[in-house]
C-alpha cells in the first residue's frame, strides 16, 4: 500500500528548537503506519527549483536532533513564493505570485499535507498555500516571542538564557573598571528578550521599543549609581529601541527580508550618553546571532517537541489552516489569519515592566 506523504519546511531565520519540532512530527508520524514524512530543503526552495531537494525524514534521520541548534532541513528568508523574484528577458527582476503553482506542484508530487514551521512571514505563506487548496498546519517559531496568539514561541527562552549568560560576564567587567556596559540584544520591534534579560541579570537600565527613552533620564540613572558609590552600570538595549526624539538604528533590508535590518543601537546610545554628559568609560557589546544558535534549553525542547507532535495530530484530524499554539498554558490551535493579526508587544503598564521597575530598573521613561 502506498503511504500518505507529509511535507515539512522550516522558513525564515533559524531558531533553537526547530530540530525538536521536526523530530516531534516524525516520531508521532511513525506511530501511524500509513504516513511518511519528507523535508523540503531551505523552506520551499527545495520544490521551487529543479532538481528537487527533498529529504526523507524517518526515525533514523531525526535520532537525537532535539538537542541540536539550527535545522537539519535548512532555511532561507529569500525566494518567498508569494513574491518570487523572476528574471526577465531584459535582465530585470519581477516579483510573481508562485503560490498556485507551488500548491499544484506539491500535489503533483503526492503530498497530502504540509507542516510549515516559521514566523509571521512563513505563516503568511502557509495561509496563501491553504487558500490555494493545500492542507497546511503552521508551527510558530521565533526567538523574538512577538506572536500574539501564543504564550511563548520556542527559541525565546534559549535566546534569553544566552543573553543572560553574556550579561553576567559583562557585569564583572563593569564592576572591575567602573564602566557603563551596554549590551544590545535582538527582538525586532518587541522588547521581550531585553526585558527578561534585564530582570534575570539585574540590569540598572533596560531600553525597549515599546517605551521610547528620554536620554536625560537614562543619564540621571547612571549618575545616581556613580554618586552612591557603586560606580558601574549595566544596560540592556533591545535592537529596536529608540529615543523619544529619535528613530531606530538600522541599515537597509535585504531581498525577501524586512524593510530594515536592525542593529547598532548600542553605539547610538553610547554616543547619546556622551552627548548627555556621561564621562565614565562606556563599552558596547552587540550580541547578535549567538542568540539564535546552540542547544535549546529544556523549556524550548519541551515546547518544540509538543508542537511537533500536535502539528502531526492536527494533520491526522484534518485541522488545516491553523497554527499550533500554547494559550494560557494549554496547547491548542488558532486559524492562521487570527494568529497573524496579533503582534505580541511588551505592555508598558504590564506586570513584568512594573516588577522590573520595582527592582530598580529604569526604562528611561
Instruction: Using alpha carbons, list the distances in angstroms from residue 172 to 143, 175, 183, 195, 275.
Output: 26, 5, 13, 20, 26
Q: Which residues contact 41 (CB under 8 A, 6 or more apart)?
A: 53, 54, 55, 73, 74
Is the CB of 181 or the CB of 186 nearer to ligand F6P? Answer: 186
Is the CB of 248 or the CB of 309 nearer to ligand F6P? Answer: 248
Q: Tell whether omega for the bond before 21 is within 30 degrees of 0, i.e. cis.
A: no
Looking at 182, 183, 186, 297, which residue binds ligand F6P (CB under 6 A)?
Answer: 186
CA distance 32 to 249: 50
Looking at 8, 10, 11, 13, which residue binds ligand F6P (CB under 6 A)?
Answer: 13
Residue 204: how many CB atoms within 10 A of its CB? 22
Looking at 18, 126, 144, 170, which residue binds ligand F6P (CB under 6 A)?
Answer: 144
Stretch that binds ligand F6P, among 36-44, 57-65, 127-135, 136-144 (CB under 6 A): 136-144
Catalytic residue at 120?
no
- Rounded to the nearest 10°, the torsion over CA 262, 325, 163, 245 is 40
CA distance 207 to 145: 17
CA distance 206 to 365: 10
Stretch that binds ligand F6P, among 19-27, 128-136, 137-145, 203-211 (CB under 6 A): 137-145
CA distance 250 to 256: 17
Stretch that binds ligand F6P, among 44-52, 132-140, 184-192, 336-344 (CB under 6 A): 184-192
Looking at 23, 188, 221, 301, which residue binds ligand F6P (CB under 6 A)?
Answer: 188
Q: In this structure, are residues 74 and 41 in contact, taking their beta carbons and an 8 Å threshold? A: yes
Distance in Å, CB of 7 to ligand F6P, minimum? 24
Distance in Å, CB of 262 to ligand F6P, minimum? 5
Is the CB of 158 or the CB of 362 nearer to ligand F6P? Answer: 158
| Residues forming a β-bridge with 116 | 9, 138
Residues 249-288 that bind ligand F6P (CB under 6 A): 257, 262
What is the SS3 string spanning 36-90?
Answer: EEEEECCCCHHHHCCCCCEEEECHHHHCCHHHCCCCCCCCCCCCCHHHEEEECCC
Stretch that binds ligand F6P, among 23-31, 183-191, 215-223, 305-313 (CB under 6 A): 183-191
Q: Does 142 bind ligand F6P (CB under 6 A)?
A: yes
- Report the candidate in 146, 11, 21, 141 with the shortest Cα–Cα distance to residue 80: 11
Contact string 295-334 vs ligand F6P (x = CB under 6 A): ----------------------------------------
Distance in Å, CB of 260 to ligand F6P, minimum? 9
Q: Residues 14, 144, 146, 189: which is the catalytic one?
A: 144
Q: Is 268 exposed, middle or buried (0-12, 13-18, 19+ CB in 10 A)?
A: buried
Distance in Å, CB of 148 to ligand F6P, minimum? 15
Provide the binding-site residues for ligand F6P, judged by CB under 6 A: 13, 77, 142-144, 186-188, 239, 257, 262, 292
* Positions marked catalytic: 144
Amino acid at each position: 500500500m502506498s503511504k500518505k506523504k507529509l511535507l515539512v519546511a522550516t522558513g525564515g531565520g533559524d531558531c533553537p528548537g526547530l530540530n525538536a519540532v521536526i523530530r516531534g512530527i516524525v516520531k508521532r508520524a511513525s506511530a501511524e503506519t500509513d504516513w511518511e514524512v519528507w523535508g523540503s530543503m531551505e523552506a520551499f526552495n527545495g520544490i521551487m527549483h529543479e532538481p528537487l531537494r527533498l529529504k526523507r525524514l524517518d526515525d533514523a534521520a531525526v535520532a537525537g536532533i532535539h538537542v541540536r541548534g539550527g535545522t537539519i532541513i535548512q532555511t532561507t528568508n529569500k525566494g518567498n513564493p508569494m513574491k518570487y523574484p523572476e528574471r526577465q528577458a531584459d535582465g530585470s527582476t519581477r516579483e510573481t505570485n508562485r503560490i498556485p503553482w507551488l500548491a499544484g506542484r506539491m500535489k503533483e508530487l503526492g503530498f497530502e499535507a504540509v507542516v510549515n514551521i516559521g514566523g509571521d512571514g512563513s505563516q503568511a505563506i502557509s495561509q496563501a498555500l491553504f487558500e490555494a487548496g493545500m492542507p497546511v498546519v503552521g508551527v510558530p517559531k521565533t526567538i523574538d516571542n512577538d506572536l500574539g496568539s501564543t504564550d511563548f514561541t520556542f527559541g525565546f527562552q534559549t535566546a534569553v538564557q544566552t543573553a543572560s549568560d553574556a550579561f553576567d560576564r559583562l557585569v564583572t567587567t563593569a564592576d572591575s573598571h567602573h564602566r557603563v556596559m551596554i549590551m544590545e540584544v535582538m527582538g525586532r520591534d518587541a522588547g521581550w528578550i531585553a526585558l527578561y534579560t534585564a530582570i534575570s541579570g539585574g540590569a540598572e537600565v533596560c531600553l525597549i521599543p515599546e517605551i521610547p527613552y528620554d536620554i536625560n533620564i537614562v543619564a540621571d540613572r547612571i549618575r545616581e549609581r556613580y554618586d552612591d558609590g557603586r560606580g558601574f552600570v549595566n544596560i540592556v538595549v533591545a535592537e529596536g529601541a529608540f529615543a523619544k526624539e529619535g528613530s531606530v538604528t538600522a541599515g537597509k533590508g535585504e531581498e525577501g527580508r524586512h524593510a530594515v535590518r536592525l542593529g547598532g543601537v548600542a553605539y547610538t546610545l553610547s554616543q547619546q550618553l556622551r552627548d548627555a554628559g556621561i564621562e565614565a568609560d562606556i563599552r558596547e557589546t552587540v550580541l547578535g546571532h549567538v542568540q539564535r544558535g546552540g542547544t535549546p534549553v529544556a523549556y524550548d525542547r519541551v515546547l518544540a517537541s509538543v508542537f511537533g507532535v500536535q502539528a502531526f495530530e492536527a494533520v491526522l484530524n484534518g485541522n488545516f489552516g491553523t497554527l499550533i499554539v500554547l494559550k494560557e498554558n494549554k496547547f491548542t490551535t488558532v486559524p492562521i489569519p487570527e494568529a497573524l493579526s496579533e503582534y505580541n508587544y511588551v505592555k508598558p503598564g504590564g506586570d513584568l515592566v512594573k516588577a522590573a521597575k520595582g527592582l530598580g530598573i529604569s526604562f528611561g521613561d
